[in-house]
Amino acid sequence: MRQDPEMVLPELHAEVRPLQIRLACTLVQIRERGRLSFCAAATIEELAGRMGFGLEETRTLCLVGYALLVVEEIEARYDEFRLADLRMPIVGATLPDLDTLLPGSPRAYRNGIHQGFDMNNGHIGVPTAYSGPVIAAKDGTVIRALLDFQEMALDEHAQAIAASQAAGTTPPDILDKLRGRQVWIDHGHGVVTRYVHLSGIASDIAEGVQVRAGDIVGFVGNSGTEAAVQGTRGGAHLHFELRIDDRYFGEGMSYDQIREAGNRIFNIAPRQQ
């Protein structure tokens, strides 16, 4: 009969109750790190016997597993801390309502993957338009502001798309060009927000400037897109990216997970579907 995890190995490190509660998980963790097979047992002796290890070795491995769990808990709390107080960069906005506007959505035209939220009019719960204000998601320091941005020429844009198609993915330098006029804000602890396709950048924004949450950093636009290259204002939207340790938020997550975590992180009430 399978043991209740709380009852497994009560004699092991008895003063550390979480260890007892989570021992089964601990052993799974060890397996995932290539050390052991999963093995549940009622006593340390049984566990050692099943694994073919000595008692001390088994005890050590369990404690290593426990330490790894502690590290994971600290990491989860670190994320809670460093992602606190974020808000959406358009006042009153929800997460976009369509999967295609979320991170992780394929972008066939450039053979790539979308890395942010596309905040288009009609999809974020509040109206937005070309030149609409874009605000800082949190206090931070501007680390990039393309004040002298020049739109690509038609043939340059076409070449960028063709190069992405040929490469089978979007090379980072091309992706950066396709993002157009951008502002990046560093919020510390590896958290950076990017505001992309802007039509303009607020006059007091420059690299090195400290901003407060809610400060206007720029204005909604379509820079870097084909419509902008053609000289129109079509398709204006804010592309907003949250990066954590230089990975985009949403990488490896399902759309449902992105919505769940996004609503929590950006302190927004879930949309009425």
Please say which residue, 22 or 157, places its beta carbon nearer to Zn ion.
Answer: 157
For residue 150, CA distances in Å to 10, 158, 229 come to: 67, 16, 10
Please say which residue, 138 or 239, places its beta carbon nearer to Zn ion.
Answer: 239
241 touches Zn ion by CB under 5 A? no
239 touches Zn ion by CB under 5 A? yes
- d(CA 131, CA 150) in angstroms, rounded, equals 17
Q: How far is the CB of 79 from Zn ion (least distance, A)?
A: 24
Please say which residue, 239 or 243, places its beta carbon nearer to Zn ion.
Answer: 239
Q: How many other CB atoms are found less than 10 A from the CB of residue 50?
A: 13
Q: Is 41 helix (H, G, I), strand (E, B) or coil?
A: coil
Q: How far is the CB of 83 from Zn ion (least distance, A)?
A: 21
87 touches Zn ion by CB under 5 A? no
- d(CA 121, CA 216) in angstroms, rounded, equals 19
- d(CA 189, CA 133) in angstroms, rounded, equals 27
Please say which residue, 41 or 124, places its beta carbon nearer to Zn ion.
Answer: 124
Largest CA distance in the chain: 75
Residue 58 phi/psi, 5-degree rounding, is -65, -45
- d(CA 65, CA 29) in angstroms, rounded, equals 6
Burial group, residue 155, by CB count within 10 angstroms (0-12, 13-18, 19+): exposed
Which range, of 81-89, 114-122, 134-142, 185-193, touches Zn ion by CB under 5 A? 114-122
Q: Which of 89, 118, 138, 218 binds Zn ion (CB under 5 A)?
A: 118
Residue whose Cβ sits closest to Zn ion: 239
Q: How far is the CB of 37 from Zn ion (least distance, A)?
A: 44
Please say which residue, 118 or 215, places its beta carbon nearer to Zn ion.
Answer: 118
Q: How far is the CB of 112 from Zn ion (least distance, A)?
A: 10
CA 54 to chain centre: 43
Q: How far is the CB of 97 from Zn ion (least distance, A)?
A: 15
Please say which residue, 101 or 201, places its beta carbon nearer to Zn ion.
Answer: 101
Q: How far is the CB of 54 from Zn ion (least distance, A)?
A: 56
CA atoms within 13 A on the CB side of 209: 18
How many residues make contact with Zn ion (CB under 5 A)?
2
Residue ranges binding Zn ion (CB under 5 A): 118, 239
